[in-house]
Amino acid sequence: MAWKSRTRSLQVFDTELSADTVEWCPVSHCNRFLACGTYQLQKGKGEEDAAPSRTGRLYLFEYQREALSPPLTELQRIETPAILDLKWCHMPVSEKVILGLAAATGELQLYALADCQKGSSNLQTLSNMDLGAGQLALSLDWSTGRMDSSDVRVVCSDSAGCVSVLSLDEGALMTLAQWKAHDFEAWISAFSYWDTQLIYSGGDDSKFKGWDLRSGPSSPTFVSKRHSMGVCSIHSNPHREHILATGSYDEKVLLWDGRNMREPFSENLLGGGVWRLKWHPTHQHLLLAACMHNDFHILHCQQAMESNKETCPVVASYILHNSLAYGADWSRLSLEKPGPLSPPATEPKECLTDSGRYLRIQYESPTASFDTSLEDDCGQYIPEGIASLSASSNAGDNVTPDDDASSLSFLLASCSFYDHMLHLWRWDWAPV
What CA–CA distance (Å, rounded) separates 291 from 286? Answer: 16
What CA–CA distance (Å, rounded) separates 420 from 83? Answer: 14
Q: Give 304-336 pLDDT, tens digit per residue.
A: 999 877 899 999 999 999 999 999 999 999 886
Identify whether 145 is part of a domain. yes
Kindly tell me the sign of the dihedral angle through the C-alpha atoms of 335, 33, 139, 85.
positive
**pLDDT top residue among 238 and 45:** 238
Identify whether 359 is part of a domain. no
What CA–CA distance (Å, rounded) separates 379 from 357? Answer: 9
Q: Give 59-94 pLDDT, tens digit per residue.
A: 999 999 876 678 999 999 999 999 999 999 999 999
Identify whether 207 is part of a domain. yes
Query: 181-185, 199-203, 403-407: which range is least confident on average?
Result: 403-407
Tally the domains of the chain: 1
Identify whether 342 is part of a domain. no
* Residue 265 belongs to domain spanning: 3-45+52-335+390-431
What CA–CA distance (Å, rounded) separates 356 from 359? Answer: 8
What CA–CA distance (Å, rounded) separates 291 from 276? Answer: 7
Q: Give 377-423 pLDDT, tens digit per residue.
A: 333 333 333 333 333 334 445 677 766 667 899 999 999 999 999 99
Identify whether 40 is part of a domain. yes
Identify the pLDDT of residue 402. Answer: 67
Identify whether 379 is part of a domain. no
Amino acid at 355: S
What CA–CA distance (Å, rounded) separates 148 from 142? Answer: 10
Average pLDDT over the chain, rounded to an integer: 85
Q: In the predicted model, what is the mean pLDDT of residues 11-29?
A: 97
CATH of the domain at 233: 2.130.10.10
Identify whether 238 is part of a domain. yes
User: How many other CB atoms sit within 10 Å of the CB of residue 119?
Assistant: 7
Identify the pLDDT of residue 52. Answer: 76
pTM for this entry: 0.86
In the sheet that holds 97-103, the strands lie side by side as: 83-88, 97-103, 107-114, 122-130
What CA–CA distance (Å, rounded) separates 264 from 247? Answer: 12
Strand-strand pairing, 3-14 and 421-431: antiparallel
Identify whether 208 is part of a domain. yes
Length of the chain (residues): 432
What CA–CA distance (Å, rounded) separates 108 from 87? Answer: 11
What CA–CA distance (Å, rounded) separates 355 from 362? Answer: 19
